[in-house]
């Protein structure tokens, strides 16, 4: 879910960037209104679209994820078990914010209703005038036009004409749409930006309609002639809003944009294509544990060669190695242990289940299988490496014997042992790091000659990064992997964890 929300915010930011840079200064008001209303909806839909044709067109690199090496395993396990029982503070904060902004919206709505109830209402054919005695303001809400008493007595019809256009074109619905988004995505500042953009656009639309029957100079002189108090409510259309008046005058005096400039809207085509490629080639990052149980209880829930598919679009990946930190069985929550124990009873296909923490910190439920793979037809990469899932003969650590699965397990155990024995565990203490569990991520390749190559590391301190590279360099030369009788390279990801007291 977190990854989905981040994608929604990213897409909204890109859509707004296109609007601000290329579209907002043009006089294609109806087109701009459609753009501002449709792109937030698209930002929610696009992350859900996964086109297999795009996935197959874009080459992907698969990396073998080795189990986490715990340098002081007992200390790490104790801390993770304690942290597993903590409350889900993110969910609590989200619902507190949701409740607060919903309450705030209801207060604002009540304020509008009170104005209608406590003031004189004059019924017209297509709208109603609410005459305000105390407030020096002019604004509209659905088919209600709120106007100060002295403006009505002076027969200032331009203001009424302006607000009537808001009523006829249902501008209040636009603003309420963004109010709902502000409640649900209260933490997303881009929703507020969207609402400001469409509020200004509403004024442009109404101004453009009024000046067709009124002298432009007289109209914007009217805007500047008086200072009015305005309601601090985001879902009403206000005639006199000081922050918008300058921009409105500039747009009133601006010449109509040439039709050729409508081609700017074509900029959204490559933007949409880029977004579709991005979402099609990215993996879902978080699975709900309750959904895992539902999948396990369903018959024929395996989609051959790809993933488990259950309710609400849930997918559990098969035959794909996700880059990230593998969570050991000791770090599973009690609920996760209970759910994944059910996999032991599944015989067809035989599954190897693990949890991976990805780059966003999400827990990814990941299934590997030796019967099915979604990369069976993948070719050797340009650098001579190959996905582990399709390799004929896996790399062999010196001294390991047995079947392909046994050789793989032996290699993992030997690498874990070598790292644990050679890593300077006192280094973290010497660096005066803050207490807690620290993690190092190492990437390396066993090349087609069996040598350790292309070592890269990320760590909380440069000295730890250098130590991790040094230790991996100590791994012996191995028997390289083979595919179709040729030596090939295989890439690995190795997480290292330790606790600083």
pLDDT tens for each residue of 263-307:
999 989 999 988 888 887 665 433 445 555 555 444 334 433 344
Which position has the higher pLDDT, 227 or 323? 323
Q: How far apart are CA 85 and CA 78, in angstroms?
A: 12
List, in sequence order, the alpha helices (H) in 69-188: 73-84, 89-118, 149-153, 157-168, 171-184
Domain count along the chain: 2
Q: What percent of the chain has pLDDT over 90?
A: 30
Q: How far apart are CA 253 and CA 248, in angstroms?
A: 9
Residue-level length of the chain: 501
Would you say residue 263 lies in a domain? Answer: no
Q: What is the pLDDT of residue 306?
A: 42
User: Mean pLDDT highest for which of 106-110, 230-234, 275-279, 331-335?
Assistant: 106-110
Q: How far apart are CA 148 and CA 146, in angstroms?
A: 7
Q: What is the pLDDT of residue 468?
A: 92
Q: 489, 384 in Cβ contact below 8 A?
A: yes
User: Quick check: helix, strand or coil at residue 149?
Assistant: helix
Q: What is the pLDDT of residue 156?
A: 57
The two beta strands, 128-132 and 120-123, are antiparallel
| Residues 342 and 443 reside in one and the same domain | no
Which position has the higher pLDDT, 146 or 371? 146
Q: What is the pLDDT of residue 427?
A: 82
Q: What is the pTM of this model?
A: 0.58
Res 140 pLDDT > 60:
yes
pLDDT tens digit sequence for 182-228: 999 999 999 999 999 999 999 899 888 888 877 666 666 666 555 44
Would you say residue 85 lies in a domain? Answer: no
| Residues 486 and 454 reside in one and the same domain | yes
User: Which residues, 6 or more positions from 103, have their beta carbon under 8 angstroms from its beta carbon?
Assistant: none
Confidence category of residue 84, pLDDT binned at 50, 70, 90: very low
pLDDT tens digit sequence for 452-470: 998 988 888 899 999 999 9
| Residues 354 and 413 reside in one and the same domain | no
Q: What is the pLDDT of residue 324?
A: 59
Q: Which of 137-146, 147-156, 485-494 has the lowest mean pLDDT?
A: 147-156
Neighbours of 193 (CB within 10 A): 16
Burial of 402 (0-12, 13-18, 19+ CB in 10 A): exposed
Cβ density class 429-462: b for 16+ within 10 Å, e for less: eeeeeeeeebbbbbbbbbbbebebbebebebbee
Cα distance between the two ends of the chain: 33
Cβ density class 363-399: b for 16+ within 10 Å, e for less: bbbbbbbeebbbbeebebeeebbbbbbbbeebbbbee
Q: What is the pLDDT of residue 125?
A: 85
How many CA within 13 A on the CB side of residue 224? 11
Would you call the peptide bond into 111 cis, given omega within 30 degrees of 0 as the criterion?
no
| Residues 401 and 488 reside in one and the same domain | yes
Q: Which residues pair with 158 in a beta bridge?
A: none
Q: How far apart are CA 126 and CA 17, in angstroms?
A: 38
Segment 417-422 mean pLDDT: 90
Would you say residue 228 lies in a domain? Answer: no
Which position has the higher pLDDT, 380 or 358? 358
Q: How far apart are CA 355 and CA 358, in angstroms?
A: 10
Q: 265, 23 in Cβ contact below 8 A?
A: yes
Res 153 pLDDT > 70:
no
Would you say residue 324 lies in a domain? Answer: yes
Confidence category of residue 433, pLDDT binned at 50, 70, 90: confident
Res 237 pLDDT > 70:
no
DSSP run (H or E) holding 279: helix 268-280
Which position has the higher pLDDT, 329 or 17? 17
Would you say residue 153 lies in a domain? Answer: no
Can you state the angle between helices 171-184 and 189-210, rounded to 10 degrees?
170
Would you say residue 280 lies in a domain? Answer: no
| Residues 464 and 495 reside in one and the same domain | yes
| Residues 394 and 349 reside in one and the same domain | no
Which position has the higher pLDDT, 209 or 157? 209
Neighbours of 401 (CB within 10 A): 8
State which residues form the domain around 360: 303-368
Would you say residue 438 lies in a domain? Answer: yes
Cβ density class 296-323: b for 16+ within 10 Å, e for less: beeeeebeeebbbebeeebbbbbbbbbb
| Residues 346 and 422 reside in one and the same domain | no
Q: What is the pLDDT of residue 339?
A: 66
pLDDT tens digit sequence for 371-409: 333 333 334 444 444 444 456 788 899 999 988 888 888
| Residues 429 and 361 reside in one and the same domain | no
> Among 493, 495, 451, which residue's Cα sits nearest to residue 473?
451
Q: How far apart are CA 10 and CA 69, in angstroms?
A: 35
| Residues 398 and 339 reside in one and the same domain | no
Q: What is the mean pLDDT of the chain?
A: 76
Q: What is the pLDDT of residue 17?
A: 95
Would you say residue 211 lies in a domain? Answer: no
| Residues 398 and 307 reside in one and the same domain | no
Q: How far is CA 160 from CA 128, 134, 144, in A?
A: 11, 18, 11
pLDDT tens digit sequence for 12-55: 999 999 999 999 989 999 999 999 999 999 999 998 887 766 65
Give residue for tokens 């964890």. 497
Q: How far apart are CA 114 and CA 128, in angstroms?
A: 15
Res 114 pLDDT > 90:
yes
Segment 244-253 mean pLDDT: 78
Q: How far apart are CA 495 and CA 501, in angstroms?
A: 20
> Among 496, 492, 495, which residue's Cα sits nearest to residue 64?
492
What CATH number is associated with residue 466? 3.30.1150
Res 11 pLDDT > 50:
yes
User: Which residues, 6 or more positions from 316, have their beta carbon under 8 angstroms from its beta carbon?
Assistant: 287, 292, 295, 307, 308, 310, 365, 366, 367
Largest CA distance in the chain: 99
| Residues 435 and 465 reside in one and the same domain | yes
């Amino acid at each position: 879910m977190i990854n989905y929300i981040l994608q929604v915010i990213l897409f909204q930011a890109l859509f707004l960037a296109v609007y601000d840079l290329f579209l907002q200064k043009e006089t294609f008001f109806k087109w701009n209104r459609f753009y501002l209303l449709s792109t937030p909806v698209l930002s929610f839909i696009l992350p859900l679209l996964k086109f297999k044709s795009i996935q197959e067109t874009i080459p992907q690199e698969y990396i073998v994820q080795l189990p986490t090496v715990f340098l002081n395993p007992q200390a790490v396990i104790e801390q993770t078990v304690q942290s597993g029982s903590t409350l889900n503070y993110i969910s609590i904060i989200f619902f507190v914010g949701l409740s607060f902004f919903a309450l705030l919206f209801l207060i604002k709505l009540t304020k509008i209703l009170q104005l209608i109830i406590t003031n004189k209402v004059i019924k017209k054919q297509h709208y109603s005038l609410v005459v305000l005695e105390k407030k020096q303001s002019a604004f509209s809400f659905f088919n209600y036009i709120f106007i100060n008493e002295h403006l009505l007595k002076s027969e200032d019809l331009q203001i009424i004409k302006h607000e009537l256009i808001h009523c006829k074109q249902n501008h209040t619905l636009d603003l309420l749409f963004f109010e709902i988004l502000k409640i649900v995505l209260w933490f997303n500042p881009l929703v507020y930006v969207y609402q400001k953009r469409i509020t200004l656009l509403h004024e442009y639309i109404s101004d453009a309609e009024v000046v067709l029957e009124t002298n432009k100079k007289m109209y914007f002189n009217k805007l500047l002639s008086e200072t009015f108090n305005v309601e601090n409510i985001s879902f009403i259309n206000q005639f006199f809003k000081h922050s918008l008046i300058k921009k409105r005058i500039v747009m009133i005096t601006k010449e109509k944009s040439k039709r050729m400039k409508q081609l700017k809207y074509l900029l959204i085509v490559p933007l949409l294509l880029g977004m579709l490629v991005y979402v099609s080639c990215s993996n879902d990052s978080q699975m709900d544990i309750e959904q895992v149980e539902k999948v396990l209880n369903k018959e024929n829930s395996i989609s051959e060669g790809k993933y488990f598919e259950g309710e609400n679009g849930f997918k559990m990946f098969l035959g794909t190695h996700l880059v990230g930190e593998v969570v050991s069985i000791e770090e599973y929550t009690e609920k996760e242990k209970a759910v994944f124990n059910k996999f032991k009873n599944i015989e067809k296909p035989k599954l190897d289940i693990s949890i991976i923490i990805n780059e966003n910190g999400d827990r990814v439920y990941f299934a590997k299988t030796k019967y099915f793979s979604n990369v069976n037809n993948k070719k050797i990469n340009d650098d001579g490496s190959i996905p582990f899932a399709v390799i004929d003969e896996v790399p062999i650590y010196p001294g390991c014997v047995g079947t392909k699965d046994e050789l793989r397990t032996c290699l993992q155990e030997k690498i874990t042992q070598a790292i644990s024995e050679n890593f300077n565990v006192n280094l973290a203490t010497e660096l005066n790091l803050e207490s807690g569990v620290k993690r190092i991520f190492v990437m390396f390749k066993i090349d087609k000659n069996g040598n350790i190559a292309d070592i890269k590391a990320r760590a909380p301190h440069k000295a730890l990064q250098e130590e991790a590279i040094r230790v991996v360099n100590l791994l012996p030369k191995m028997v390289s992997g083979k595919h179709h009788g040729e030596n090939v390279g295989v890439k690995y990801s190795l997480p290292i964890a330790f606790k600083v007291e």
